[in-house]
Amino acid sequence: MKNLTLITGGARSGKSTFAESLATSSNKSIYYFATMKHIDSDLEQTARIEKHRRRRPDNWTTIEATTDLSQKIQDIPQKPILAIIDCLSLFVTSILFEGENIDDKTCADINIKSFDNKEKPIIETTKKLLSSINNQKDIDFIVVTNEVGSGIVPTTPLGRAFRDYLGIVNQIVAKEADTVWLLCSGIPVKIKPQ
């Protein structure tokens, strides 16, 4: 896959800003795929989404996509453009919680057994996403994700399951990516190719 760049790193490490700067320097038309599912009652999340929106140039095309990301990528017109997917972590979250009613629950309230069988669909959906990316020959992709395994071990079974699933997805995408960047304290370090 010659058109895929993966940017990983911890929370607030500068991943999205770096992805946006790479996109801007490409001088191509930009499609921005936002993967966060908006929840009206979550004011903090609403503020985060608005902050990201304000940072993006007006001439970028923003597409909101959660579990239907592969289809929306296939729908991009075939022309030389650049697409940013921000981010894989929220994409995995959407798959993990698909079909679950969790609006008023905390992580401690959720029955982890309902997430035991999610690894296969998460892997299959990730492979479908990579296939959609690979089929878009004239489009370069920048994919942002979180490196969640470098910190403390999550205290809940759900948190540990999410960490494990995202770690698997990150490995699959990094293996297929032509270029992988690690952001640490705002400093990008190219880790692939070495």
Residues that are catalytic: 52
Burial of 143 (0-12, 13-18, 19+ CB in 10 A): buried
Residue type at position 95 = I
Q: Which of 3, 136, 167, 6 is nearest to 73 (CA)?
A: 136
| Other C-beta atoms lying within 10 Å of the C-beta of residue 92 | 25
Strand 139-144 and strand 4-9: the pairing is parallel
DSSP state for residue 147 in the 8-state scheme: -
Residue type at position 74 = Q
Q: What is the 3-state secondary structure (H, E, C) of 52-82?
A: HHHHCCCCCEEEECCCCHHHHHHCCCCCCEE
